[in-house]
Structure 1
């Protein structure tokens, strides 16, 4: 089939291309049909390819791919066919395949600008930096008059750390520019050029460049920040001091400027730093930064005087963030004690004399006493003295029953006490006092999810989501990951593994979408010259999955898949729930019938809602929509551990400094029987925290697994035995566990881990196991509620062996005395009494 068309058909083909570019798809199809209806050109490759490209834009993907492949088979030497095939692959996000297509297209038209531009976009998207540099160099040779050609090539060199070439190209481009009085784009270019000097370590050139082009740069703050840092690096301390003082004068609330000045002045003692901060406290009376920094470096009576002044000022103003500002100081026990004594003294004086200090002349307003009580409640909650904190927050609510912060703090205290039902109830009470507050609304929804009340959480969020769309769908569209993470955790607690996995995959897709969304910025940022921001974005995208949201999502997904491996689901989750209730066959049949009717009713309701929308919009959405995740299919997979590894790998790449990453890796590889990978996980975890309780249990399990494995490969066995001796510190297994218990006498978590390991090693030693895990005579026991709750649940699950009910009940009673607010240790009567107290508080607030 000839690739060249006669003039008439060639003009029609040009019109097809133009219609595609102008998105006039119907006209484009009409002109393509005219060419293809001619028998001689019925199989013209480029026309078939263009027709396929237009159909792809109309959502007809299968037909489009068929046409493009036909066109490519008919004309393998056509750059148009290869280019179009690359565009289709790009639309399917198969970037590697698209790059191959573009390279094939360039074989037949090596200087095609459009193909080179498209190829460069894919190369930077896939971080093929070497290929990106070569493509940008080719574009620079072909179009030296275009700004993007110079910037693109220099950025490619910059990303490859070829700073000399990048700077040479940028300087050549700068010489071609006319200097204007106020040109934002040129200003951004100069700042980017300067940042390359800094990254190259050429501090002297960096400073000279700034001084030379200072008048052309619009961002004066960035100029001073860079001058301060570079001057210090060059040893020009007088200049650096001047710039830092100018920056502080512009923004006295920026901590970095103060710490930078301290570094420049080489202030080595706390007294010298305190004097410097005092200078700025006097100069900037309304700035918190120098006051708080001064508190960090003072002690004794000086600290007491300064912190007293700071707290008194905040209490008089009624500043709710006071505790958050003071909290970093509480790491020092001496300072924490001083703060406690001061505020208790203020509380006593206000209650008896309405004054903060007895020798004050004027009386304080009632709000000062209110915020003093509020601070004390926050203070004791921080140190997990929850009964004392509760006493103060109740006084706060008695004083001002409509204070929203009082209810949120009370809810927080109950949450820390592991009484989530009451915490959620109180947070919802706080929300009802101000229904226009999105923050309290979100907090209330989060607390509802913690008690597995997903429907209530959805209703709460629906107050701030788009109308006409369910809250769950809208939150998914908005990539509201905290909500989806809490939903996944809730489903996992309820045993709804499929629903939990669905949420985890949705969150994972959000991160994939964020990575793919950068595609549009590759051309935009070079066009708008936001080059520093563009480089920052690329570097952020490279480590995107190190974000805490992804870590939480991946951990939940791993837990779900490990659970699936341990307990495979062969029925639907609904049937499993029904069968577990112990119903008779007749009752079971009746309940299933009721569920089917409810499901059918819900489907009809959804269909009716969908029919009310515009038909064309619905069709278009259906064409472009991605397949929805099916919870039932997600749990019916043959290889749950392989799926878990897909979530584990990003954690190993980007969260390797977190010990949980390696503990979860061990869980997976232990079940797969991968001894070397188990060993690798243990070694990495040991390098982070050699005394971690779960790591100790894992080492014991690993040693026993190796001992039980008789047919281990000889080479593998030799490596494992050598490394295992290092892990066991040259001891025998029983001795290793005893040493761990002896070394960590003052930790419940470590003692219970030792008990669990002892039960694995010697199930007959049940008396000592119970003695270790049920001991509650520790210092600061009030901070150990989560560990005690975990031990209690493990006692019920026979983690420490078969434990008599009387022992479990004794442990519960002991814990209930230590943690009276914790729901997990309460009996039914105590729980109902606490509910009545909260109900009475709610009624009081309404009145």
Structure 2
């Protein structure tokens, strides 16, 4: 690169060697050459050498020195594109992309046609989704390097991402015309043609897309994708016969693909259920070993035909011993008639198998294997568990275990039944038995750890996972490195239940950082995909990254964090030292001595934990540094350490909650919980318009949700209390926007209307009862009367979750102070209905958290 402050030949040769050392990751050599230049009195303030020394130091992890040298070099040579470029690289390594873009733009002022700077700028622009800037930068690169394929593709893609399909196609056509003259047809060219076809399809011109696909048929190497696109286009253009021919070919190629069958049904325009069943029967004869033609007709068949087909399907699976049979058939349980037929059929199997070892007493032929009845018991246990008939489910799973006490799946299912019945301790013990039978099975190990966390046994879960994590590192730390988010989410929820809010927030922030890292990781693909021509996958990646925080893993972590921050706002943690000072004033000398001993022990323990944490941090830093030795640029900056106590004592819990909430509001708008959580945050901030916005969005998702009523009542309370203080414009907005939401602005009347319209719902009764008490605490008796009686089939939606929530609200005073006799009466009803649920057991009957229990079983000699 030409310098704005050129060096003499000898020093210039050394400077080139610095660049070469940097490119080859020989950083110590680079520092040695830089020192040789900077020790010369004439060049000790040479800007570009100082900048390159700084960049090299950054790669060795010496970040402060790096910034000092680069800034010093920049001050000495503000017109050097090298100094600005290096400063941009430094900012980029710290993920300060906006600052890095400014540095690159300054570098281009002094060297506007520098290819490397333009490339680096374009990478940052696509990373930050500055699509207009990306388009302009790619145009400059195309003008400078019109021969390179990446220049054309990058410029075309910039228009595609901006949805300017006309210009994108024009550029691709021009480039492909040049390629065809060279007669180059390979996989990369094929991918480019398919990408071009994707752009045409997204532009909406389906006829042109079909014409293009047929024209370019000979140049497409990926024949499967070609056929699938061709069939899909014919289907969308309603060329039914051609679409049917193509999907028949695809089924011939892969008869296990369920999508092909569904597309073929659409192409044949079969709408009657009987016709669809006949269609599958035909293909069942044609492909007797394929599963879809056997399973899919069960979705459409009814009555006796359904019974015959199901009988045939289940017999084969039960004789073969297919564990996921219930999971396979679970989608049929949407229809109550089919549930009844399934139950009758499976129960008949048991009777016949017990008597004659056949599925039906009239069957001719050999007897079924001895394991057949085991799999029938196993199926029935899952069947009754799904129907929430837990006693029957347990009865059948116990019978299955008696039959074959060495089958791991039986203990997993037994644990699942206890989990659904509300007893996480029993559930965990069953999984622990299963895990003890096969300690080398990672799936069972993970499942057992998950159930331990559900039972709030965090240390035991960590020890269980440690069997499969890296040695020499704590399991918790290794799982964090591996971005094992299911474990961290369950950990956060366990800490939340235990009241360890700082630890819960630490796990939530760790998950949030994982998502940030995943977004950063796409940086590696911007050049790779353009070079390897995997353009369709690349566009898919960019679109996925744009909605990444809508993923269920993030949603669960964010929900947990928001709930914890709301709790910390409502009930801030007390300062322990201040509280202890107040308490010691009134203590007797002997009690004071005991307290001081206790405090001393606690302090010693905390110091030991801090020392261990520091030691672990040193190891991490060393590992981090060793990794950096081999990187062109240093890894991400060292993030602040997540200290649980500091997280739990944050000054602005609502602002922290909003940081987790904002991604959900844009990416999880279709989930009711998003808007209910938003309301809770803004209700505490007393932001009336944002409260209304949350209510309106929630109403669009699910207008009949019971908790929405609670939000409306509290909104009306805030509005009526502060109506005089609102700006006239705000009042006008509220009045116009609430017309469709509220039949009246009288909260009591609104609550009465809600309760009258939802008499059969216990969930609605709970929200109405809470609102009744909030609006007038003299009506506590009426409020309690709505939720205290669950025994007389008054409500149709009674389940463990809602009963647990009612019990929680009775205890925390949401329905006023309740007498112990009232609580006992409600718990007795719940215990009668849900005998296994831990929430309704008397304190003395709740088992203490058990030690890991390993049960050994003798191998069945048969």
CA distance in 1, matches of 2:452, 2:850: 16
Q: Rate the CA distance shift 1:835–1:589 in 2: closer, same or farther, 3 A.
A: closer
Q: How does 1:413-432 map to 2 (within 5 A)?
A: 413-432=417-436
Aligned counterpart, 2:10:
8
Aligned counterpart, 1:460:
464
* Cα offset, 1:830, TM superposition: 6.1
2:299 aligned with 1:296: yes
* Cα offset, 1:843, TM superposition: 7.0
Q: How does 1:398-797 map to 2 (within 5 A)?
A: 398-571=402-575, 584-602=591-609, 617=623, 620=626, 625-709=638-722, 710-724=724-738, 726-730=740-744, 732-776=746-790, 777-778=792-793, 784-797=799-812
Q: Rate the CA distance shift 1:560–1:337 in 2: closer, same or farther, 3 A.
A: same
* Cα offset, 1:261, TM superposition: 1.0
* Cα offset, 1:619, TM superposition: 5.6
CA distance in 1, matches of 2:849, 2:110: 80
What does the per-residue CA deviation read over 1:550-591, in whole Å, with 9 as the maximum and x for residues that have no partner? 101111111111111112224369999x999x9954433323
* Cα offset, 1:592, TM superposition: 2.6
2:179 aligned with 1:199: no
What does the per-residue CA deviation read over 1:598-654, in whole Å, with 9 as the maximum and x for residues that have no partner? 34445566677889x799657647996433211122123211111110110000000
2:256 aligned with 1:261: no
Other structure's SS at 1:177 match: helix
8 Å Cα contact 1:414-1:420 kept in structure 2? yes
CA distance in 2, matches of 1:748, 1:532: 50
What does the per-residue CA deviation read over 1:426-474, in whole Å, with 9 as the maximum and x for residues that have no partner? 1111111111111111110011111111110001101111111111111
8 Å Cα contact 2:54-2:68 kept in structure 1? yes
Question: 1:324 is matched with which residue: 322, 327, 333?
Answer: 327
Other structure's SS at 1:569 match: coil
CA distance in 2, matches of 1:38, 1:240: 77
CA distance in 1, matches of 2:172, 2:33: 46
Question: 2:315 is matched with which residue: 307, 312, 317?
Answer: 312
Q: Rate the CA distance shift 1:538–1:784 in 2: closer, same or farther, 3 A.
A: same
Q: Rate the CA distance shift 1:384–1:83 in 2: closer, same or farther, 3 A.
A: same
Aligned counterpart, 2:400:
396
8 Å Cα contact 1:343-1:372 kept in structure 2? yes
CA distance in 2, matches of 1:616, 1:413: 47
CA distance in 2, matches of 1:661, 1:614: 36
* Cα offset, 1:2, TM superposition: 7.5
Q: How does 1:75-154 map to 2 (within 5 A)?
A: 75-154=77-156
* Cα offset, 1:833, TM superposition: 13
Q: Rate the CA distance shift 1:714–1:610 in 2: closer, same or farther, 3 A.
A: closer
Other structure's SS at 1:155 match: helix
Q: Rate the CA distance shift 1:584–1:425 in 2: closer, same or farther, 3 A.
A: farther
CA distance in 2, matches of 1:419, 1:152: 57
Bigger Cα displacement from structure 2, 266-275 vs 173-182: 173-182
CA distance in 1, matches of 2:306, 2:379: 19
8 Å Cα contact 2:298-2:310 kept in structure 1? yes
Aligned counterpart, 1:807:
822
Query: Unaligned stretches of 5+ in structure 2?
Result: 629-633
CA distance in 1, matches of 2:579, 2:178: 73
Aligned counterpart, 1:286:
289
CA distance in 2, matches of 1:199, 1:714: 46
Q: Rate the CA distance shift 1:618–1:22 in 2: closer, same or farther, 3 A.
A: closer
Other structure's SS at 2:815 match: coil
8 Å Cα contact 2:193-2:220 kept in structure 1? yes
Aligned counterpart, 1:352:
355
Q: Rate the CA distance shift 1:30–1:716 in 2: closer, same or farther, 3 A.
A: same
8 Å Cα contact 1:83-1:115 kept in structure 2? yes
Q: Rate the CA distance shift 1:687–1:205 in 2: closer, same or farther, 3 A.
A: closer
Query: Unaligned stretches of 5+ in structure 1?
Result: none
Q: How does 1:370-389 map to 2 (within 5 A)?
A: 370-389=374-393
Bigger Cα displacement from structure 2, 460-469 vs 194-203: 194-203
8 Å Cα contact 1:180-1:216 kept in structure 2? no
CA distance in 2, matches of 1:332, 1:614: 55
Q: How does 1:208-287 map to 2 (within 5 A)?
A: 208-287=211-290
TM-score (norm 2): 0.93
8 Å Cα contact 1:573-1:632 kept in structure 2? no
Bigger Cα displacement from structure 2, 406-415 vs 25-34: 25-34
TM-score (norm 1): 0.94
Other structure's SS at 1:176 match: helix
Other structure's SS at 1:727 match: coil
Other structure's SS at 2:467 match: helix
CA distance in 1, matches of 2:559, 2:246: 46
Aligned counterpart, 2:631:
none
* Cα offset, 1:749, TM superposition: 0.9
Cα root mean square deviation, aligned: 2.8
Q: Rate the CA distance shift 1:191–1:619 in 2: closer, same or farther, 3 A.
A: closer
CA distance in 2, matches of 1:405, 1:783: 30
8 Å Cα contact 1:488-1:504 kept in structure 2? yes
CA distance in 2, matches of 1:156, 1:610: 43
CA distance in 2, matches of 1:788, 1:845: 41
Q: Rate the CA distance shift 1:616–1:755 in 2: closer, same or farther, 3 A.
A: closer
CA distance in 2, matches of 1:753, 1:440: 40
What does the per-residue CA deviation read over 1:15-39, in whole Å, with 9 as the maximum and x for residues that have no partner? 2222222222222222222222233
Q: Rate the CA distance shift 1:207–1:728 in 2: closer, same or farther, 3 A.
A: closer
Aligned residue pairs: how many? 842
8 Å Cα contact 1:481-1:549 kept in structure 2? yes
8 Å Cα contact 1:49-1:68 kept in structure 2? yes
CA distance in 2, matches of 1:344, 1:33: 86
* Cα offset, 1:244, TM superposition: 0.5
* Cα offset, 1:694, TM superposition: 1.3
Q: Rate the CA distance shift 1:477–1:579 in 2: closer, same or farther, 3 A.
A: farther
8 Å Cα contact 2:710-2:767 kept in structure 1? yes
* Cα offset, 1:781, TM superposition: 6.2
Bigger Cα displacement from structure 2, 334-343 vs 772-781: 772-781
CA distance in 2, matches of 1:2, 1:144: 27
CA distance in 2, matches of 1:781, 1:659: 22
CA distance in 2, matches of 1:52, 1:659: 51
CA distance in 2, matches of 1:96, 1:814: 61
* Cα offset, 1:715, TM superposition: 2.6
What does the per-residue CA deviation read over 1:15-74, in whole Å, with 9 as the maximum and x for residues that have no partner? 222222222222222222222223332222222211111111111111111221122222
Aligned counterpart, 1:30:
32
Runs of 4+ residues over 6 Å off in structure 1: 178-182, 572-576, 606-611, 613-616, 621-624, 779-782, 832-836, 843-847
Q: Rate the CA distance shift 1:608–1:634 in 2: closer, same or farther, 3 A.
A: closer
Other structure's SS at 2:777 match: coil
CA distance in 2, matches of 1:183, 1:467: 46
Aligned counterpart, 1:342:
345
